[in-house]
Amino acid sequence: MPTTWETVRKRACRRYGLAPEVEDALLSVPLFLDRVNELLQELAQVGGGFREEFTLDLPTTAAVALSSRVLRVLDGTVRVDADGDGVFETEPEYAQEEELRACYGALENQPAGVPAYYYLQRGSAADAMVSLVLHPRAETARTGGLKVACRTSPAAVTAAADTLPLQAHEERFLIPGICLALAETELSRGRRDAPLALWDGRWEKALTDYADSVEDSTRSNSRRVIYTDGGWD
């Protein structure tokens, strides 16, 4: 059964030396909640993100807004149902915007057709900073006519009963990061003996260990070679 955020919070409290049943005035529950979401973002980045497939409406405008949680679009996963038959047989190729403009001139003035290329651009809209831009733009709008797979960061944890997007054996990687946040908060309030260095070192190791764990879980039966003081294992 997936572990809830509240369970991990209590584990971190015990590890740091706090009573998990009593909310500390300084090291509060909202602080834990903010920090666990920041930690999940950091883990997603070092681990390459989570794979998520999106089905989007295909517009007749070139740009298609992507989720704000997208870290990157996976190569070869953009597919278009250009004729509306439910089959995503069109697979636009990735290209640099500069290359397309060098070949075709002002892309905005090109006639609509079957999308053959796409590129990515970042805008200023807070709800969709990253857009996937098709060239040429589609002739006809299609509901659910575009599919794309992306590496994403997880949705925010908002309640104590929310489950964490981690494998059971990976939950332990969050503990040092939460404890680091507690030490940083205590230091910022004047406690000079806060164990900052201890938890900073452990969090850095947890990030490395998590990245290795993700790699191991996606390599099937492949064996990863690790160098230790004793030589190659």
Res 25: pLDDT? 79
Q: What percent of the chain has pLDDT over 90?
A: 60
Tens of pLDDT, residue by residue over 117-164, are 999 998 776 666 789 999 999 999 999 999 999 999 999 999 888 998
Task: Kindly report the average pLDDT of the chain as a whole number.
Answer: 89
Instruction: Select the more confidently predicted residue: 228 or 7.
Output: 7
pLDDT digits (tens, 9 = 90+) for 92-123: 999 999 999 999 999 999 999 999 999 999 87
Q: How far apart are CA 119 and CA 132, in angstroms?
A: 6
Question: What are the residues whose beta carbons fall under 8 Å from the beta carbon of 232, sequence distance 6 or more?
Answer: 225, 226
Higher pLDDT, 135 or 217: 135
Number of neighbours of residue 188 by Cβ within 10 angstroms: 10
pLDDT for 229: 65
pLDDT tens, residue by residue, 163-190: 988 888 888 999 999 999 999 999 998 8
**pLDDT tens-place string over residues 28-40:** 888 888 989 999 9
Closest to 185 (Cα-Cα) out of 57, 24, 71, 19: 24
Q: Which of 105, 98, 146, 90 is nearest to 120 (CA)?
A: 98
